Structure formats: structure tokens, C-alpha cells
């Protein structure tokens, strides 16, 4: 019986190895449970659409995507990363909404010699001294979107700013980013509890913001926009303390906010590297087909997740079609020569993109639907502040 069990295990391992050799296998870690699953679903749907657009193949080999749920927990994310590289024999581990999950999952992937590609999280630790030759990001380093927003605040004449963000690595990066470029006075900061049991009552912090004399609030609450925006409206400060956000009032949150009649978000402003109205052929196809297939507008999370497939496809095919040719694939990934929804862009020396960032207004369309509309370029082609500390290692 023991011999039969061992034989079965060996047969299963052989089958997995054979499948890996005959396909390009991508492990994708995101959040598919908890209230934050709404973001993970957007990313998952975008990846599946991109696979469909790619004809299901890279260099003639089938694309296999193994989705895993991190449950919003760093330790679980690390366990799923270990499973993907050891059991599923993936060639690439990608995804990641949350910086703390990415940081926890980094070591088992890098130690296994696999490529690690973040489609959202961009912690400062991996942009600076912790950068690595096999780590790539599809999104700018966390600080960059708020750095662009700081420039917008200056243009809008904001003099006093109150900062609110969750107390984890990305929240601290976002706060640092906006303060990097904002020229006025930061009159208060609140870092609230995060994780699988986050703080959802912001009334005390909003009261402090009102009392501080701030003329604007900077907020970063991904996946928690409804709770935060509803209380911002209830606080009765929308006319005197304007709201500016990053990764908060987005295409995922807007339908829910409109349904809940949180009118205070109309006229607010944010910054991002991407918007549904960005005028590139690839973006037009992506947005139209996503809406047709899933019945909703894709988010910025979806846009970066979608780009993953054409990015990997181009790199592997430019490297001669062999995903195992690590050095050649890495060189092609560094060139980033593919048709992105954002248009052409380049990677910095730390493997983070050097993007153009736009200011976006929250508006009511003629149809009545709430949407994001691009106003102007907020920041163009700037390297993140941590890249100078990066000395790539293999």
C-alpha cells in the first residue's frame, strides 16, 4: 500500500512537471474573499479577458493561470506563494493588491528563482534597497500617485491639508508621497487600523480634520471608500474641506456611492496613471470588451492586471519562446516593449514603471452615471524617490 501511495505521488509530480513544460503557468495572488474581494474579482476578470485577447497562448503554448486568495492576510499570501512555486510549478507569480502581502510573499518566490510581478502593490521597500532583478511592477511605486496629487493640491491653491490613511506599509507610503510635493502645511495625520478587522468608523478623525482648519483632506482607503465617503458626507464638511483621494473613489466604488446617494464625492479629485477614457487603441478595446463581458466599467486595478498578459507574452516571445530562458526573458521584461492600455512607457532602474499621471474629476455623465473624467496631466515621466537606492541583485 505504501509503495502504491509513493508511486501515485511520483506520478502526480511527473504529470505536473509535464504540464508545466507544455504551457506557460502564471500564479496570480489576489483577494477573493472578505469585502475587498470586489477588487480581486476585477483583477481576475481582467486577466481572463487578457488571456482571451491573447488567443490563450504564449509562443504557441497554452496560458494557464492559477488564481489564489490571500484573504487579506500576509501570512496566507506567503503560504499561497509557496504552494504556487512548489506544488503548481508556476513560471511567474503575479498579482497582489496589498503591499504587506507582497512583502510577505516575496522571499519564497525569489528564492525559487521565479519572476515576481506585482500588478498593483508597489512598496518602497522593493523600489529601493530591497529591489531584485526578478521583481517587476506593473504599477508605479506607491508614493508616485500621491506625489502627483501633491502637485495637484498646489495647483488648486490648497494651503492646509489633513492626511488620513490606514496604518500599514502602503498607507505610510501614500502619506509620504503626498507630503513629498505638497508645499502647504500638513495640519494633522491619522493612521487608522487596517487588516481583516479594519477601523470603519472615521467620525472622530473627520471631526479632528474639521477642527484643524484644513481646507482639504487627503485620503487613501482602498476597498473602504463607501464607509469613508458616507461619513465624510455625514460630517457636513464637504463645502469647507474638499476631498482629494488616491485608490479610493474609483470605478469600483462609484456605482455603490451613487446608489447610496453619497453626493459629496461629486466634484472631488484624484490622480492615477490610468482612466477608462484614456485614448489608446488598446485601452479602447479593453474597456469596451470588459463592459460587454462583465457589465461594468473596469477599475485601475483591472487595467494593470489586464496588462500583465500582453507584457509576459511579448517578453517570452521576444526571448525566443522559452519561459525558462531566465536571462533573456528578464531582458525583454526590462524593455517592456508591448502594447499597454496606458500607451508606451519605460521601466526605471528598479523595475518600476516611469508613468504619466493624470488628475481625474468625479463627475455625473449626461446619462446620469457617475464616472471619472481626465482633466489634465499632473506629473509626467518622473522616477520614484527610492530608485536611487536600488542596486539590482540576482
| Torsion angle of the four alpha carbons 35, 39, 40, 43, in this order, in degrees rounded to the nearest 10 | 170
Domain range for residue 342? 2-140+279-354
- Comparing CA positions, the residue from 300, 337, 301 lying closest to residue 317 is 337
CA gap 390, 40 in Å, rounded: 30
Residue 385 lies in a domain: no
Residue 394 lies in a domain: no
CA gap 49, 197 in Å, rounded: 32
Contact 121, 145 (CB under 8 A): no
Q: Is the pTM of this model over 0.95?
A: no
Q: What's the average pLDDT block by block, 10 residues per block, for the chain (394 residues)?
A: 46 46 93 94 98 98 98 97 98 96 98 97 95 96 96 98 94 94 97 86 95 97 87 94 95 94 96 96 98 97 98 98 97 96 92 96 96 96 93 73
Residue 18 lies in a domain: yes
SS3 153: helix
Residue 76 lies in a domain: yes
- 227 with 292, same domain? no
- Comparing CA positions, the residue from 266, 251, 267, 244 lying closest to residue 150 is 244
- 250 with 362, same domain? yes
Rounded to the nearest integer, the mean pLDDT of the chain is 93
Residue 388 lies in a domain: no
DSSP state of 299: -
pLDDT for position 8: 47
pLDDT for position 197: 81
CA gap 368, 284 in Å, rounded: 21
- 130 with 252, same domain? no
- 327 with 239, same domain? no
- 64 with 29, same domain? yes
- The beta-carbon contacts of 57-61 under 8 Å, at least 24 apart in sequence, are 58/24, 58/312, 58/313, 58/316, 58/317, 58/323, 59/24, 59/313, 59/316, 59/317, 59/321, 59/322, 59/323, 60/321, 61/22, 61/23, 61/24, 61/321
CA gap 53, 56 in Å, rounded: 7
- 293 with 348, same domain? yes
- 136 with 266, same domain? no
- 171 with 110, same domain? no
Residue 181 lies in a domain: yes
* Count of domains forming the chain: 2
CATH number of the domain residue 148 falls in: 3.40.50.2300
- 228 with 345, same domain? no
Convert the pLDDT of each residue in 58-117 to its tens digit. Answer: 999 999 999 999 999 999 999 999 999 999 999 999 999 999 999 999 999 999 999 999
Residue 104 lies in a domain: yes
Residue 391 lies in a domain: no
- 327 with 367, same domain? no
pLDDT for position 21: 63
* Residue 327 neighbours by CB under 8 Å, 6+ apart: none
Kindly state the helix (H) or strand (E) to which residue 109 belongs, with its residue range. helix 99-111
pLDDT for position 4: 45
- 10 with 106, same domain? yes
CA gap 77, 64 in Å, rounded: 20
- 201 with 287, same domain? no
Amino acid at each position: 500500500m505504501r509503495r502504491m501511495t509513493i508511486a501515485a505521488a511520483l506520478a502526480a509530480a511527473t504529470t505536473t512537471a509535464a504540464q508545466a513544460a507544455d504551457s506557460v503557468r502564471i500564479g496570480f495572488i489576489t483577494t477573493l474573499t472578505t469585502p475587498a474581494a470586489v477588487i480581486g474579482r476585477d483583477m481576475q476578470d481582467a486577466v481572463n479577458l487578457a488571456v482571451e485577447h491573447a488567443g490563450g497562448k504564449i509562443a504557441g503554448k497554452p496560458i494557464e493561470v492559477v488564481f489564489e486568495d490571500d484573504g487579506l492576510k500576509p501570512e496566507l499570501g506567503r503560504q499561497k506563494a509557496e504552494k504556487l512555486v512548489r506544488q503548481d510549478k508556476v513560471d511567474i507569480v503575479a498579482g497582489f493588491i496589498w503591499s504587506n502581502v507582497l512583502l510577505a510573499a516575496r522571499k519564497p518566490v525569489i528564492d525559487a528563482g521565479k519572476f515576481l510581478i506585482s500588478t498593483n502593490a508597489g512598496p518602497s521597500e522593493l523600489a529601493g534597497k530591497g529591489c531584485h532583478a526578478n521583481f517587476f511592477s506593473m504599477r508605479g511605486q506607491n508614493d508616485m500617485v500621491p506625489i502627483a496629487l501633491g502637485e495637484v493640491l498646489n495647483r488648486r491653491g490648497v494651503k492646509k491639508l489633513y492626511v488620513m490613511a490606514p496604518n500599514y506599509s502602503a498607507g505610510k507610503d501614500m502619506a509620504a508621497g503626498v507630503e513629498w510635493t505638497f508645499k502647504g502645511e500638513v495640519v494633522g495625520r491619522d493612521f487608522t487600523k487596517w487588516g481583516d478587522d479594519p477601523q470603519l468608523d472615521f467620525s472622530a478623525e473627520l471631526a479632528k480634520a474639521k477642527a484643524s482648519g484644513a481646507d482639504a483632506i487627503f485620503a487613501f482607503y482602498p476597498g473602504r471608500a463607501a464607509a469613508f465617503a458616507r461619513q465624510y458626507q455625514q460630517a457636513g464638511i464637504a463645502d469647507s474641506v474638499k476631498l482629494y483621494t488616491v485608490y479610493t473613489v474609483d470605478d469600483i466604488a462609484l456605482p455603490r456611492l451613487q446608489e447610496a446617494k453619497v453626493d459629496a464625492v461629486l466634484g472631488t479629485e484624484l490622480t492615477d496613471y490610468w482612466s477608462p477614457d484614456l485614448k489608446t487603441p488598446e485601452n479602447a478595446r479593453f474597456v469596451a470588451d470588459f463592459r460587454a463581458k462583465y457589465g461594468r466599467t473596469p477599475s485601475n486595478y483591472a487595467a494593470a492586471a489586464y496588462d500583465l498578459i500582453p507584457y509576459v507574452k511579448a517578453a517570452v516571445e521576444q526571448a525566443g519562446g522559452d519561459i525558462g530562458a531566465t536571462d533573456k526573458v528578464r531582458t525583454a521584461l526590462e524593455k517592456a516593449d508591448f502594447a499597454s492600455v496606458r500607451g508606451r512607457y519605460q521601466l526605471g532602474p528598479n523595475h518600476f514603471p516611469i508613468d504619466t499621471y493624470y488628475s481625474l474629476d468625479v463627475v455625473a455623465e449626461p446619462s446620469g452615471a457617475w464616472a471619472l473624467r481626465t482633466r489634465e496631466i499632473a506629473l509626467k515621466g518622473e522616477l520614484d524617490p527610492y530608485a536611487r537606492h536600488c542596486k539590482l541583485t540576482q
